[in-house]
Amino acid sequence: MPAGLFRRKPKARRVVVSGLWRRCNDDVNSRGERAPVRPGSRYTWARVSSAAPSPLRILVVEDDEDIANLLAHSLRKAGFAPEVQLTGAGVPARVRRDQPALVLLDVMLPGLDGHEVCRALRADAKTAAGPIIMITARADESDRIAGLELGADDYVTKPFSPGEVVARVRALLRRSTPRPAGTANALEYGPIRIDLDRHVVEVDGEDVRLTAKEFLLLQYFVEHAGRVLSRDLLLSDVWGYRYTGGTRTVDVHVRRLREKLPVLADAIVTVKQFGYRLLEPTP
Protein backbone atom coordinates (compact mmCIF):
# COMPACT_ATOMS: atom_id res chain seq x y z
CA MET A 1 0.00 0.00 0.00
CA PRO A 2 1.53 3.34 -0.97
CA ALA A 3 2.68 5.40 1.94
CA GLY A 4 0.41 8.28 2.83
CA LEU A 5 -2.64 6.83 1.09
CA PHE A 6 -4.41 6.39 4.38
CA ARG A 7 -4.01 8.55 7.45
CA ARG A 8 -4.67 7.47 10.99
CA LYS A 9 -7.70 9.06 12.58
CA PRO A 10 -6.73 11.95 14.83
CA LYS A 11 -6.65 11.37 18.53
CA ALA A 12 -9.35 13.32 20.30
CA ARG A 13 -8.30 15.71 23.00
CA ARG A 14 -9.98 18.17 25.35
CA VAL A 15 -9.38 21.84 24.65
CA VAL A 16 -10.04 24.74 27.00
CA VAL A 17 -12.15 27.51 25.51
CA SER A 18 -13.53 29.96 28.07
CA GLY A 19 -17.32 29.93 28.25
CA LEU A 20 -17.82 27.90 25.06
CA TRP A 21 -18.37 24.36 23.86
CA ARG A 22 -15.81 23.52 21.16
CA ARG A 23 -14.76 20.44 19.19
CA CYS A 24 -11.06 19.92 18.62
CA ASN A 25 -8.56 17.40 17.24
CA ASP A 26 -4.84 16.89 17.00
CA ASP A 27 -4.73 16.79 13.20
CA VAL A 28 -1.92 19.29 12.64
CA ASN A 29 0.20 19.45 9.48
CA SER A 30 3.96 19.98 9.28
CA ARG A 31 3.55 23.75 9.44
CA GLY A 32 1.61 23.60 12.68
CA GLU A 33 -1.73 24.36 11.03
CA ARG A 34 -4.86 22.52 12.12
CA ALA A 35 -6.51 20.53 9.38
CA PRO A 36 -10.16 21.21 8.47
CA VAL A 37 -12.93 19.14 10.03
CA ARG A 38 -13.54 15.90 8.14
CA PRO A 39 -16.63 13.71 8.29
CA GLY A 40 -16.10 10.78 10.60
CA SER A 41 -13.46 12.44 12.73
CA ARG A 42 -13.68 11.98 16.46
CA TYR A 43 -13.98 15.03 18.65
CA THR A 44 -14.25 15.71 22.33
CA TRP A 45 -16.51 18.47 23.57
CA ALA A 46 -15.41 20.52 26.53
CA ARG A 47 -16.87 23.39 28.50
CA VAL A 48 -14.85 25.66 30.73
CA SER A 49 -16.20 28.32 33.05
CA SER A 50 -15.99 31.88 31.76
CA ALA A 51 -13.70 34.43 33.33
CA ALA A 52 -16.42 37.09 33.15
CA PRO A 53 -16.83 39.30 36.23
CA SER A 54 -19.33 38.29 38.88
CA PRO A 55 -22.82 39.79 38.46
CA LEU A 56 -23.75 42.70 40.71
CA ARG A 57 -25.67 41.68 43.82
CA ILE A 58 -29.06 43.30 44.43
CA LEU A 59 -30.76 42.94 47.82
CA VAL A 60 -34.56 42.68 47.48
CA VAL A 61 -36.32 43.45 50.78
CA GLU A 62 -40.00 42.60 50.27
CA ASP A 63 -42.39 40.81 52.65
CA ASP A 64 -44.67 39.52 49.87
CA GLU A 65 -42.89 36.37 48.78
CA ASP A 66 -44.55 36.28 45.35
CA ILE A 67 -43.48 39.84 44.55
CA ALA A 68 -40.00 39.19 45.93
CA ASN A 69 -39.61 36.11 43.74
CA LEU A 70 -40.92 38.00 40.69
CA LEU A 71 -38.36 40.76 41.22
CA ALA A 72 -35.58 38.26 41.82
CA HIS A 73 -36.49 36.37 38.64
CA SER A 74 -36.52 39.55 36.54
CA LEU A 75 -33.22 40.75 37.99
CA ARG A 76 -31.61 37.36 37.42
CA LYS A 77 -32.73 37.36 33.77
CA ALA A 78 -31.17 40.83 33.44
CA GLY A 79 -27.80 39.52 34.59
CA PHE A 80 -27.86 40.50 38.26
CA ALA A 81 -27.45 38.31 41.33
CA PRO A 82 -30.54 39.01 43.48
CA GLU A 83 -30.81 38.11 47.16
CA VAL A 84 -34.17 38.17 48.96
CA GLN A 85 -35.03 39.13 52.53
CA LEU A 86 -38.65 39.08 53.71
CA THR A 87 -38.33 41.28 56.81
CA GLY A 88 -36.75 44.60 57.62
CA ALA A 89 -35.05 43.37 60.76
CA GLY A 90 -31.36 42.78 60.17
CA VAL A 91 -31.23 44.58 56.83
CA PRO A 92 -28.87 47.37 57.98
CA ALA A 93 -26.43 44.82 59.41
CA ARG A 94 -26.66 42.67 56.27
CA VAL A 95 -26.04 45.61 53.94
CA ARG A 96 -23.11 46.71 56.09
CA ARG A 97 -21.64 43.19 55.95
CA ASP A 98 -22.35 42.21 52.32
CA GLN A 99 -22.24 45.63 50.60
CA PRO A 100 -24.76 44.89 47.79
CA ALA A 101 -24.63 47.12 44.73
CA LEU A 102 -28.22 48.31 45.31
CA VAL A 103 -31.14 47.77 47.70
CA LEU A 104 -34.75 47.39 46.52
CA LEU A 105 -36.65 48.25 49.68
CA ASP A 106 -40.36 47.80 50.34
CA VAL A 107 -41.93 50.35 52.69
CA MET A 108 -44.44 48.11 54.50
CA LEU A 109 -42.25 45.53 56.20
CA PRO A 110 -42.76 43.51 59.40
CA GLY A 111 -40.41 44.18 62.27
CA LEU A 112 -38.71 47.27 60.85
CA ASP A 113 -40.45 49.22 58.09
CA GLY A 114 -38.72 50.49 54.98
CA HIS A 115 -38.49 54.08 56.20
CA GLU A 116 -36.66 53.02 59.35
CA VAL A 117 -34.35 50.77 57.32
CA CYS A 118 -33.57 53.63 54.93
CA ARG A 119 -32.89 55.99 57.83
CA ALA A 120 -30.52 53.46 59.41
CA LEU A 121 -28.65 52.88 56.15
CA ARG A 122 -28.16 56.60 55.56
CA ALA A 123 -26.97 57.13 59.14
CA ASP A 124 -24.16 54.56 58.82
CA ALA A 125 -20.97 55.78 57.13
CA LYS A 126 -20.39 52.35 55.53
CA THR A 127 -23.83 52.23 53.89
CA ALA A 128 -24.73 55.92 53.52
CA ALA A 129 -23.84 56.20 49.83
CA GLY A 130 -25.41 52.94 48.63
CA PRO A 131 -28.21 53.28 46.03
CA ILE A 132 -31.72 52.64 47.39
CA ILE A 133 -34.95 52.25 45.42
CA MET A 134 -38.07 52.16 47.58
CA ILE A 135 -41.19 50.19 46.66
CA THR A 136 -44.65 50.93 48.07
CA ALA A 137 -48.33 50.36 47.47
CA ARG A 138 -49.03 53.96 48.51
CA ALA A 139 -49.28 56.12 45.42
CA ASP A 140 -49.85 59.49 47.12
CA GLU A 141 -47.16 62.11 46.67
CA SER A 142 -46.61 62.70 50.38
CA ASP A 143 -45.55 59.10 50.88
CA ARG A 144 -43.05 59.28 48.01
CA ILE A 145 -41.62 62.50 49.38
CA ALA A 146 -41.29 60.94 52.85
CA GLY A 147 -39.06 58.24 51.38
CA LEU A 148 -37.00 60.73 49.39
CA GLU A 149 -36.59 62.88 52.49
CA LEU A 150 -34.99 59.94 54.26
CA GLY A 151 -32.46 59.51 51.45
CA ALA A 152 -34.03 57.12 48.92
CA ASP A 153 -32.69 57.63 45.39
CA ASP A 154 -35.82 56.49 43.58
CA TYR A 155 -39.38 55.35 44.17
CA VAL A 156 -41.57 52.67 42.55
CA THR A 157 -45.28 52.28 43.27
CA LYS A 158 -47.26 49.04 43.11
CA PRO A 159 -48.47 47.65 40.82
CA PHE A 160 -45.34 47.96 38.73
CA SER A 161 -43.80 46.42 35.65
CA PRO A 162 -40.77 44.21 36.48
CA GLY A 163 -39.14 45.51 33.31
CA GLU A 164 -39.48 49.09 34.55
CA VAL A 165 -37.91 48.17 37.89
CA VAL A 166 -34.96 46.54 36.11
CA ALA A 167 -34.58 49.64 33.91
CA ARG A 168 -34.50 51.86 36.98
CA VAL A 169 -31.95 49.60 38.66
CA ARG A 170 -29.71 49.74 35.60
CA ALA A 171 -30.05 53.50 35.26
CA LEU A 172 -29.22 54.16 38.90
CA LEU A 173 -26.26 51.77 38.91
CA ARG A 174 -24.92 53.18 35.65
CA ARG A 175 -24.88 56.66 37.10
CA SER A 176 -23.67 55.62 40.55
CA THR A 177 -20.64 53.55 39.51
CA PRO A 178 -17.29 55.34 39.86
CA ARG A 179 -15.35 55.83 36.64
CA PRO A 180 -12.67 53.24 35.77
CA ALA A 181 -9.10 53.80 36.85
CA GLY A 182 -7.13 55.91 34.42
CA THR A 183 -9.92 58.41 33.84
CA ALA A 184 -9.09 60.62 36.80
CA ASN A 185 -11.24 63.68 36.84
CA ALA A 186 -12.55 66.18 39.34
CA LEU A 187 -14.87 69.17 39.35
CA GLU A 188 -14.60 72.25 41.53
CA TYR A 189 -17.14 74.86 42.48
CA GLY A 190 -15.85 77.41 44.96
CA PRO A 191 -14.76 75.43 48.05
CA ILE A 192 -16.50 72.28 46.74
CA ARG A 193 -14.39 69.58 45.12
CA ILE A 194 -16.08 66.61 43.40
CA ASP A 195 -13.91 63.54 42.86
CA LEU A 196 -15.60 61.69 40.00
CA ASP A 197 -13.43 58.58 40.39
CA ARG A 198 -14.01 57.99 44.09
CA HIS A 199 -17.50 59.55 44.26
CA VAL A 200 -16.30 61.80 47.06
CA VAL A 201 -17.36 65.39 47.73
CA GLU A 202 -15.22 67.68 49.87
CA VAL A 203 -15.79 71.22 51.13
CA ASP A 204 -12.58 72.93 52.23
CA GLY A 205 -11.01 69.48 52.52
CA GLU A 206 -13.79 68.02 54.70
CA ASP A 207 -15.81 65.06 53.36
CA VAL A 208 -19.54 65.54 52.83
CA ARG A 209 -21.69 62.42 52.61
CA LEU A 210 -24.12 62.43 49.71
CA THR A 211 -26.41 59.73 48.39
CA ALA A 212 -25.79 58.42 44.88
CA LYS A 213 -28.52 60.60 43.38
CA GLU A 214 -27.45 63.69 45.30
CA PHE A 215 -23.91 63.22 43.99
CA LEU A 216 -25.11 62.93 40.40
CA LEU A 217 -27.39 65.94 40.73
CA LEU A 218 -24.55 68.03 42.14
CA GLN A 219 -22.24 66.89 39.34
CA TYR A 220 -24.85 67.84 36.74
CA PHE A 221 -25.40 71.29 38.24
CA VAL A 222 -21.65 72.04 38.32
CA GLU A 223 -21.13 70.78 34.76
CA HIS A 224 -23.97 73.07 33.58
CA ALA A 225 -23.35 76.06 35.85
CA GLY A 226 -25.04 79.21 34.59
CA ARG A 227 -27.71 77.37 32.59
CA VAL A 228 -31.38 77.29 33.50
CA LEU A 229 -32.31 73.61 33.91
CA SER A 230 -35.93 72.51 33.84
CA ARG A 231 -37.15 69.88 36.27
CA ASP A 232 -38.05 67.61 33.36
CA LEU A 233 -34.53 67.92 31.95
CA LEU A 234 -33.00 67.08 35.33
CA LEU A 235 -35.27 64.05 35.66
CA SER A 236 -34.33 62.87 32.18
CA ASP A 237 -30.57 63.41 32.40
CA VAL A 238 -29.91 62.63 36.06
CA TRP A 239 -32.49 59.95 36.74
CA GLY A 240 -31.87 58.50 33.31
CA TYR A 241 -35.35 57.57 32.04
CA ARG A 242 -38.80 58.98 31.58
CA TYR A 243 -39.61 59.46 35.23
CA THR A 244 -43.26 59.24 36.32
CA GLY A 245 -42.86 60.07 40.00
CA GLY A 246 -43.46 63.81 39.63
CA THR A 247 -41.13 66.79 39.58
CA ARG A 248 -41.26 67.12 43.37
CA THR A 249 -38.52 64.49 43.33
CA VAL A 250 -36.11 67.12 41.99
CA ASP A 251 -37.25 69.68 44.56
CA VAL A 252 -36.56 67.28 47.43
CA HIS A 253 -33.06 66.46 46.18
CA VAL A 254 -32.22 70.12 45.57
CA ARG A 255 -33.31 70.98 49.11
CA ARG A 256 -31.12 68.20 50.50
CA LEU A 257 -28.13 69.52 48.53
CA ARG A 258 -28.70 72.99 49.95
CA GLU A 259 -28.83 71.57 53.47
CA LYS A 260 -25.73 69.41 53.17
CA LEU A 261 -23.74 72.03 51.23
CA PRO A 262 -24.66 75.44 52.70
CA VAL A 263 -22.51 77.16 50.08
CA LEU A 264 -25.21 76.15 47.58
CA ALA A 265 -28.09 77.62 49.60
CA ASP A 266 -27.98 80.83 47.60
CA ALA A 267 -25.98 79.52 44.63
CA ILE A 268 -28.80 77.26 43.37
CA VAL A 269 -31.45 79.73 42.25
CA THR A 270 -35.06 78.63 41.84
CA VAL A 271 -36.56 79.67 38.51
CA LYS A 272 -40.26 79.97 39.30
CA GLN A 273 -42.50 77.34 37.69
CA PHE A 274 -39.62 75.99 35.62
CA GLY A 275 -36.54 74.65 37.36
CA TYR A 276 -33.18 75.72 38.77
CA ARG A 277 -29.94 77.46 37.86
CA LEU A 278 -26.55 77.13 39.55
CA LEU A 279 -24.88 80.53 39.50
CA GLU A 280 -21.49 80.82 37.86
CA PRO A 281 -18.77 80.46 40.52
CA THR A 282 -17.13 83.64 41.71
CA PRO A 283 -13.55 83.89 40.38
Pick from 22, 21, 25: nearest CA to 36 = 25
Answer whether residue 208 shows pLDDT above 70. yes
pLDDT band at 97 (very low <50, low <70, confident <90, very high): very high
CATH 1.10.10.10 in the chain is located at: 186-278
Could you confirm whether domain 57-176 is CATH 3.40.720.10? no
Q: Which of 184, 183, 173 is nearest to 212 (CA)?
A: 173
**pLDDT at 13 (0 to 100):** 45
pLDDT at 245: 54
Residue ranges of the chain that CATH labels 3.40.50.2300: 57-176
- Read off the pLDDT band of 255 (50, 70, 90): very high
- On whether the CB atoms of residues 82 and 60 are closer than 8 A, the answer is yes
The reported pLDDT for the residue numbered 8 is 52
Q: Is the pTM of this model over 0.75?
A: no
Is pLDDT above 60 for 9?
A: no
| pLDDT on residue 177 | 66
* Average per-residue pLDDT for the chain: 79
What CATH code is assigned to 186-278? 1.10.10.10
